[in-house]
Amino acid sequence: MHKSNNVLKTAAIALLLSGCATQSPTLSSGNVEYGDSKAVETLTNEFGSTDLQTIAESMANSLLQSPALFAKSRPLVTVAEVKNRTSEYIDTKSITDSIRTKIVKSGMVRFAVDTSAMQTQVEELARQNQSGLYKKSKSKKMGNMEGADFRIEGTITSIVKRAGDVKDVYYKFSLQLVDNESGTMEWADEKEIRKTSNKSMF
Amino acid sequence: MNAVKSVSLVLALLALTACATHQPPQPGSINAKVEQLSEMSYLQVTDLRAVKRNHLLTVQAEINNTDSDNQQLYYRFKWLDASGFAVGGEEAWKPVLVYAYQKQTLTAVAPSPQVTDFRMVVQSPDNTGNLP
């Protein structure tokens, strides 16, 4: 009788314990965890994710408020180069991609293929029209591409200063919208970022 | 006498529970649009206005630092459509330095013409002091 009581008690405790311990659907070594991709990152004062996100957001917001861009309904825009004139490696294509994504998602602007995607566009048209594999009535015709009304181009520059343990980095991202036909600049804006780090403990 | 005592006790209890109840913010007030991740003592959203410009909702917020020290603010906006659904995914958190006693103006533009409403989410890390 005493033995069966003990067995029951152990079973009850086991049941209770298994009931409390919730298992997450993860397989982890314990050293890696997912964080917030939108968090403010201040690990170092080099160009980081927060800089990229704030530049893209600020530029897309400003561009969507530009009256020149919306003189025509859903204008066609292309992205030219953003020159990196800083002392560090920055993927400027990634910044312009983010700006373009935000503007496209507004549904108010259309984008034409830029120079980097032109090769793929030409190859696709050639494949449909010249390979002999596609029905004539179903293939996309050559000679129907639309020229962009505007192009977006810009520069990113930096000024780095050091004084003792203090390092100050100033970034300036300039973007402009140029009318492709007239060559006139229709909109321009800048985003400035200052980051200061201090190595000293006190 | 005992009845009077219990009535006053009930009234006192009622008064206390009324005080303890968290009043929902008045519709149209700043608090209805601002979500504080922790109660901010020194930084206050003192003005909030929204207008449609070029089909896009444009918001301007005024942040007032009532402290003699500079304060760091982190903020982002949530954009909502007419049905209350989030539009455009999550925004990045943006850092802003607000100088002592400064009134800082922040502006934001909705990502799409579908946006009709917004929430401003704010957080300030060194902001645990008492109200002045």
CATH architecture group of domain B29-123 = Sandwich (2.60)
Question: What residues in chain A have per-residue pLDDT under 70?
Answer: 1-21, 201-202
Q: Are the C-beta atoms of residues B120 and B45 closer than 8 Å to each other? A: yes
Q: Do residue B112 and residue A38 have CB atoms under 8 angstroms apart?
A: no
Give B99-119 pLDDT, tens digit per residue: 999 999 999 999 999 999 999
Q: Do residue A65 and residue B53 have CB atoms under 8 angstroms apart?
A: yes
Q: Give me the pLDDT at residue B11, please.
A: 46
Q: Which chain A residues are closer than 8 Å to B94 by Cβ? A: 40, 50, 54, 57
Sorted by where each begins, the domain ranges of chain B are 29-123
Q: Do residue B76 and residue A38 have CB atoms under 8 angstroms apart?
A: yes
Q: Are the C-beta atoms of residues B92 and B76 closer than 8 Å to each other? A: yes
Give A53-68 pLDDT, tens digit per residue: 999 999 999 999 888 8
pLDDT > 60? residue B53: yes
Among B54, B92, B113, select the one facing A38 at the smallest CB separation: B92
Topology annotation, domain A46-112+147-202? Rossmann fold (3.40.50)
Q: Which chain B residues are closer than 8 Å to A61 by Cβ? A: 108-109
pLDDT > 60? residue B12: no
pLDDT > 80? residue B3: no
User: Any CB–CB contact under 8 A between A106 and chain B?
Assistant: yes
Helices and strands (H, E) in chain A, number of each type? 4, 5
Chain A: nearest CA to B69, how far in angstroms? 18
Residue closest to B94 by CA, chosen among A31, A188, A29, A41: A41
Q: How far is CA A70 from the centre of its chain?
A: 24
pLDDT > 90? residue B89: no
**Mean pLDDT value across chain B:** 82
User: Any CB–CB contact under 8 A between A53 and chain B?
Assistant: yes
| CA angle (A173, A178, A184) in 5-degree steps | 125
Q: Give the global pTM.
A: 0.80
